Amino acid sequence: MTLRFLVTRASAFVPIAMSLAALGVLALALVVGVAHPPDGDEGTAAHIWQLLMAGQLPIVAYFAIIWVPRAPKQAVFVLVIQFGAALSSLLPVFVLGL
Phi, psi of 95 (to 5 degrees): -70, -45
* Residue 74 pLDDT exceeds 70: yes
In a domain, 37, yes or no: no
Using DSSP's 3-state secondary structure scheme, residue 2 falls into: coil
DSSP summary character for residue 9 = S
Q: What gap in Å lies between CA 5 and CA 2, rounded to an integer?
A: 5
Could you list the residue range(s) of the whole structural domain that residue 16 is in?
3-32+42-96
Domain count, the chain: 1
In a domain, 13, yes or no: yes
Average pLDDT score, the chain: 89
How many whole angstroms separate alpha carbon 23 and alpha carbon 29?
Answer: 10
Query: pTM for this one?
Result: 0.86
37 pLDDT tier (thresholds 50, 70, 90) = low
Mean pLDDT within 22-32: 89
For the chain, list the strands marked E by DSSP: none
User: Is 80 exceeded by the pLDDT of residue 42?
Assistant: no
CB 48 within 8 A of CB 55: no
